[in-house]
Structure formats: structure tokens, C-alpha cells
């Protein structure tokens, strides 16, 4: 019996000694982790050294960058360069949310993606490249589109939000959710070749794929977006009022506008103060987190329909397939007139043989003067060719654009001018535009190229709230 008690006592002693040894190991581990935090690998120190000697950053600023959690909504033309420079700056946690996959048409402007990753989720492709640039940050992929139901929960995981999208409804969702969750929002956007101080109508906003984009332009704005984020993270916010005019000016909200082909290229516009009756941040706010997640705040409805409703009747429209059947290219007796209302750049890339280019901007810029028996053809706008304005011609007129929206407007305009001779002459549009699905009107191998791409300079705006 005594032997058993001795064995138990010995085991208890061994356990105590082991626990003491384990406690010592834990202390050693804690000390080692402290040393590891203060002594980074040489490559990390070299990466951060150039920033840390900048007076606006320093050691304190670098520590703030390392502890920051940043979410980029969109892994496209804006999100790629922004993420690239944020990763290089040593941001501790970088999240990216995007439900799209990489397409070959993205590669010229979305610089983190590679040909080998075509078909892969953009967030996975981007993070793969970011890890090669800097493996130390924590990268979090969100392989989904941002929705009202998911937005608050995702935003609460981060400190700073970057809006890198090109969709009006999503932009409003991001802004509202950032305000209601108390997150800093840095937003960059494209507005074609004209800057606007107020959100444009939804029907006038297009994606990069539809509206065209020049790679270095979107890259410039993505870099500026990253820079603005770094400034926000590293700038001290002591809460003490600064009386100097320069400090007051620096803190006033502003909008930075960039135009690649303007001189000067950059200009800054001071923004008005917050509205007293703002639907999100005022005392009488009607938009809440509950209204967002429940779906009662309908952003698609608020922004308006993203697609133009049909302005023409079925008898005024014809599909590309039907047009080719009625007017084959091999026909030598076809007297139909094809008007292409795309801009000159797109028309120059690909067009139908013998089509007439009249940009929609020219058509909309002129006033309607109906053609009648008492008026001569000189009353018609200067853009109307003779074969269209002839009062004797009954040759059918077809109007085509890229997506089938502008062509409907042009048909209405031509009819307002009386060119249909009170219904005696057919005027209609090509439904769906020149590149509609499988029934593309403009095909490769017929003196043209199928793929239409317009690379125009764009005005981008960047704002911080």
C-alpha cells in the first residue's frame, strides 16, 4: 500500500515539475514573440525602411498601417492598383470582395490578374499576386458580390472601406453601410470625359466594359485611392481644434477630379457640408441597418432601371438575324439604308459596309424640324444625308448602335423630323445592337472585327468621407 502511495506522490511531483517547465516555455515563447515583433526579417525591414524615414509616416505610422484592416469592394481596374500599393505599404489585413471571374478583356487595366488566371475568381487571382508582392499581410477573399444582406456584417470586420465599383446601386449601398457602421470610406469612380458634382442618372452610368476605359487612367485613380487611404490611417486625429488656415483647409471635404487629356489634369472641388436632412446620417434618418438588411431600402429602384426600357414597338424593331435574312450581304439590289449611331472611334474599329456613321451626340444636339410639303430639304439638320432627306425616297432606314438603346432614341428623332413620310417609309432599329448574343450583326471575316473596344480617356473622381 505504501508503495502505491509513493508512486502517486512521484507522479504528482513529475506533473508539477512538468507544469512548471511548461509555464517556463510559455514565458520563453512570449518573450520570443515580442522579439519577433520588434525584429522583422531583413526583407521586411528593407521594404518598410523607405516609408519609415518619411516624416509623415515614421515608426508610429508604420505601426498603424500594420494594425489597419482594409476592405476593397471590387477587384477590377481600381481595386487592383489600390490593393497593390496597400499591400506594399504593409497594411496588416486586406480583404477583397468581388463575385466576378477574370476575363481576358480585363487584363489591360486590372494589373493584378494574369492570363493563366482567366476564369478564376478575381479575389483569388488578385490575392495570389499580392502574396508574391508581400506575403506578410493577412489576405481575406470574399468570393461574392456585395449585397444589402451581407454588407453590414462584412464591413464590421474592417476599419476602412474602399469603393472600387462601377455600379450606381452598389455605390449607394457602400456609402450608406459605411456611414451606419462608422467606417471610413474612400471612393474613386469613372465619369467618362465629363466630371459631375452630383450622382448622374443610372441610365447614363456604364461599366468599364460598356463605356470604355484607358488602363493608365484607372491605374492613376487606384493609386490615388491607396494614397488617400494611407493618409487617413497615418494622420493623427487628436480631436484638438486646429486654428491655422492650412489645417482647416486640409480638413475640409473635397473632390479630386482627374482628366487625362485636360490641362491641368487635376483639379479639386470643395464639397458642401452634410445635409441637415440626410436620409442616412441626420437625426431624422430613414435609412438604417435594419432597412438595408431587410431589403426595404431598394437601391436598384432608388437608382432607376439600369437598362433602358423599350421605346419602340415590335413593328419598329428587327433582330440582327432577321436583318441578315432580309438584306443579305451578297445582294446587289438592296436599297436599304443603315445608320450607325456609335461614336467615330467605335465605328472606325468595325462597321457594316456602306453604313452611314451619324453619332448619337450629333442627333441629340439638333432640334426637330419636321419635313413637310411646304418646306425644302434645307430645313433638315446638317447631319441628315441627302439619301435620308429626299422626300421621294421610300428606302427603309435601319439604325444600329452597340447595345440597342441609342438606336431607339435615334429612330424616334428621325420620325420626329418626318423622314418616315407619315408611315410610308420604314424606320426601325436593330434590336440589341450590333453585338447582340449569338446573332451578332457585325461578324469577323466580313471586312470587320467582331470585338469592339473603345479606349477613351476618362474623368475619374476620388472622394473621402
79 burial (CB, 10 Å; 0-12 / 13-18 / 19+) is buried
Q: What percent of the chain has pLDDT over 70?
A: 74
So what's the pLDDT on residue 362?
85
So what's the pLDDT on residue 44?
55
Model confidence at 334, in pLDDT bands (50, 70, 90)? low
Which one is predicted more confidently, 434 or 190?
434
Most confident listed range (6-15, 358-367, 421-430): 421-430
- The number of residues in the chain equals 465
So what's the pLDDT on residue 452?
31
Q: Which fold has domain 314-430?
A: Oxidized Rhodanese; domain 1 (3.40.250)
- Tell me: pLDDT of 427 over 80: yes
Beta bridge partners of residue 115, listed in sequence order:
none
So what's the pLDDT on residue 461?
43
Per-residue pLDDT of 164-213, as tens digits, reads: 988 888 989 999 999 999 999 998 875 543 333 233 444 445 555 555 66
Per-residue pLDDT of 87-132, as tens digits, reads: 999 999 999 999 999 999 888 889 999 999 999 999 999 999 999 9
Nearest residue to 380 (alpha-carbon basis) of 417, 338, 342: 417
- Tell me: pLDDT of 241 over 50: no
- In the sheet that 69-73 helps form, which strands lie side by side, from edge to edge? 138-142, 93-97, 69-73, 160-163, 184-190, 459-464, 254-259, 266-270
Question: Do the strands 93-97 and 69-73 form a parallel or antiparallel pair, or are they unpaired?
Answer: parallel
Prediction pTM value = 0.60
Nearest residue to 104 (alpha-carbon basis) of 94, 95, 113: 113
Model confidence at 440, in pLDDT bands (50, 70, 90)? low
Q: Residues near 165 by Cβ (< 8 Å), separated by ≥ 6?
A: 73, 74, 78, 146, 171, 174
- Tell me: pLDDT of 346 over 70: yes
So what's the pLDDT on residue 230?
94
355 burial (CB, 10 Å; 0-12 / 13-18 / 19+) is middle
* Backbone torsions φ then ψ of 212, nearest 5 degrees: 85, 150
Nearest residue to 145 (alpha-carbon basis) of 120, 123, 118: 123
Please state whether 182 falls in left (phi above 0), alpha (psi between -120 and 50) or beta: left
100, three cell numbers: 466576378
Lowest mean pLDDT among 60-69, 146-155, 308-317: 308-317
Looking at the chain, which residues constitute the CATH 3.40.50.720 domain(s)?
46-237+245-306
Most confident listed range (15-19, 121-125, 280-284, 455-459): 121-125
- Long-range residue pairs from 347-351, CB within 8 A, at least 24 positions apart, any chain: 349/449, 349/452, 349/453, 349/454, 350/434, 350/442, 350/448, 350/449, 350/450, 350/451, 350/452, 351/442, 351/448
Mean pLDDT, rounded, of the chain: 77
So what's the pLDDT on residue 380?
79
Model confidence at 245, in pLDDT bands (50, 70, 90)? very low
Q: What angle is formed at CA 457 by the lines to CA 453 and CA 458, rounded to 5 degrees?
A: 105
**d(Cα 49, Cα 202) in Å, to the nearest integer?**
46
CA max distance for the chain:
130
Q: Residues near 169 by Cβ (< 8 Å), separated by ≥ 6?
A: 202, 299, 300, 302, 303, 306
So what's the pLDDT on residue 404?
82
> Which residues are designated catalytic?
208, 401
Most confident listed range (23-32, 227-236, 258-267): 227-236
Q: How far is CA 298 from CA 203, 216, 293, in A?
A: 17, 35, 10
59, three cell numbers: 515608426
Which one is predicted more confidently, 237 or 446?
237
342-358: average pLDDT: 85
Model confidence at 284, in pLDDT bands (50, 70, 90)? confident
Query: How far is C-alpha 394 from the geometric centre of its chain's CA atoms?
Result: 45
Nearest residue to 393 (alpha-carbon basis) of 337, 449, 437: 337
Which one is predicted more confidently, 401 or 247?
401
Q: Which fold has domain 46-237+245-306?
A: Rossmann fold (3.40.50)
Looking at the chain, which residues constitute the CATH 3.40.250.10 domain(s)?
314-430
CB 103 within 8 A of CB 118: yes
- Tell me: pLDDT of 324 over 90: no
**d(Cα 235, Cα 78) in Å, to the nearest integer?**
23
Model confidence at 147, in pLDDT bands (50, 70, 90)? very high
Lowest mean pLDDT among 165-174, 382-391, 399-408, 453-462: 453-462
So what's the pLDDT on residue 320?
85
Q: Residues near 349 by Cβ (< 8 Å), separated by ≥ 6?
A: 449, 452, 453, 454
> 263-287 b/e with 16+ CB inside 10 Å = b?
eeeeeeeeeeeeeeeeebeeeeeeb
328 burial (CB, 10 Å; 0-12 / 13-18 / 19+) is exposed
Tally of CA atoms within 13 A in the half-sphere of 71 that contains its CB: 25
Model confidence at 46, in pLDDT bands (50, 70, 90)? low
Lowest mean pLDDT among 236-250, 270-284, 323-337: 236-250
Residue 276, helix vs strand vs coil: coil
- Tell me: pLDDT of 363 over 80: yes
So what's the pLDDT on residue 17?
81
Instruction: State the first-to-last Cα distance of the chain, in angstroms, to the nearest integer.
Output: 78
According to DSSP, residue 204 is labeled: G
146-160: average pLDDT: 95
According to DSSP, residue 100 is labeled: -
Per-residue pLDDT of 3-29, as tens digits, reads: 777 788 788 888 888 888 888 788 778
Nearest residue to 70 (alpha-carbon basis) of 99, 97, 93: 93
248 burial (CB, 10 Å; 0-12 / 13-18 / 19+) is exposed
Amino acid at each position: 500500500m505504501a508503495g502505491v502511495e509513493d508512486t502517486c506522490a512521484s507522479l504528482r511531483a513529475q506533473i508539477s515539475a512538468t507544469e512548471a517547465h511548461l509555464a517556463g516555455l510559455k514565458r520563453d515563447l512570449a518573450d520570443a514573440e515580442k522579439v519577433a515583433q520588434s525584429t522583422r526579417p531583413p526583407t521586411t525591414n528593407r521594404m518598410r525602411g523607405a516609408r519609415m524615414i518619411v516624416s509623415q509616416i515614421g515608426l508610429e505610422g508604420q505601426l498603424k498601417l500594420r494594425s489597419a484592416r482594409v476592405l476593397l469592394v471590387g477587384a477590377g481596374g481600381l481595386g487592383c492598383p489600390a490593393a497593390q500599393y496597400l499591400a506594399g505599404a504593409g497594411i496588416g489585413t486586406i480583404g477583397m470582395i468581388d463575385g466576378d471571374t477574370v476575363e481576358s478583356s480585363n487584363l489591360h487595366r486590372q494589373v493584378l490578374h494574369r492570363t493563366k488566371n482567366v476564369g478564376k475568381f478575381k479575389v483569388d487571382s488578385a490575392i495570389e499576386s499580392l502574396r508574391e508582392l508581400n506575403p506578410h499581410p493577412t489576405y481575406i477573399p470574399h468570393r461574392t458580390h456585395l449585397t444589402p444582406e451581407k454588407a453590414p456584417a462584412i464591413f464590421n470586420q474592417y476599419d476602412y472601406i474602399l469603393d472600387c465599383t462601377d455600379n450606381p446601386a452598389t455605390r449607394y449601398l457602400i456609402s450608406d453601410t459605411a456611414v451606419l457602421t462608422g467606417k471610413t470610406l474612400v471612393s474613386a469612380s469613372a465619369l467618362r470625359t465629363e466630371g459631375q458634382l452630383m450622382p448622374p442618372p443610372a441610365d447614363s452610368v456604364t461599366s468599364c466594359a460598356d463605356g470604355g476605359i484607358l488602363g493608365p487612367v484607372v491605374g492613376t485613380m487606384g493609386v490615388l485611392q491607396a494614397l488617400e487611404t494611407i493618409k487617413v490611417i497615418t494622420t493623427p486625429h487628436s480631436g484638438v481644434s486646429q486654428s491655422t488656415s492650412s489645417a482647416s483647409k486640409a480638413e475640409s471635404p473635397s473632390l479630386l477630379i482627374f482628366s487625362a487629356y485636360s490641362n491641368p489634369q487635376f483639379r479639386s472641388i470643395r464639397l458642401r457640408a452634410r445635409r441637415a436632412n440626410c436620409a442616412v446620417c441626420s437625426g431624422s434618418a430613414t435609412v438604417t441597418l435594419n432597412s438595408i438588411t431587410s431589403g426595404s431600402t431598394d437601391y436598384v429602384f432608388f437608382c432607376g432601371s439600369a437598362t433602358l426600357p423599350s421605346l419602340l414597338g415590335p413593328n419598329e424593331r428587327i433582330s440582327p438575324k432577321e436583318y441578315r435574312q432580309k438584306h443579305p450581304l451578297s445582294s446587289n439590289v438592296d436599297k436599304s439604308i443603315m445608320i450607325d449611331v456609335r461614336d467615330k472611334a467605335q465605328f472606325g474599329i468595325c462597321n457594316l459596309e456602306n453604313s452611314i456613321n451619324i453619332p448619337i451626340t450629333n442627333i441629340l444636339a439638333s432640334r426637330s424640324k419636321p419635313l413637310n410639303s411646304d418646306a425644302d430639304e434645307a430645313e433638315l439638320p446638317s447631319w441628315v444625308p441627302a439619301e435620308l432627306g429626299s422626300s421621294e425616297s421610300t428606302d427603309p432606314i435601319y439604325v444600329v448602335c452597340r447595345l440597342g438603346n441609342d438606336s431607339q432614341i435615334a429612330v424616334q428623332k428621325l420620325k420626329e423630323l418626318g423622314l418616315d413620310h407619315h408611315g410610308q417609309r420604314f424606320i426601325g432599329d436593330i434590336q440589341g445592337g450590333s453585338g447582340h448574343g449569338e446573332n451578332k450583326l457585325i461578324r469577323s471575316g466580313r471586312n470587320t472585327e467582331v470585338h469592339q473596344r473603345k479606349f477613351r480617356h476618362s474623368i475619374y473622381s476620388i472622394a473621402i468621407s
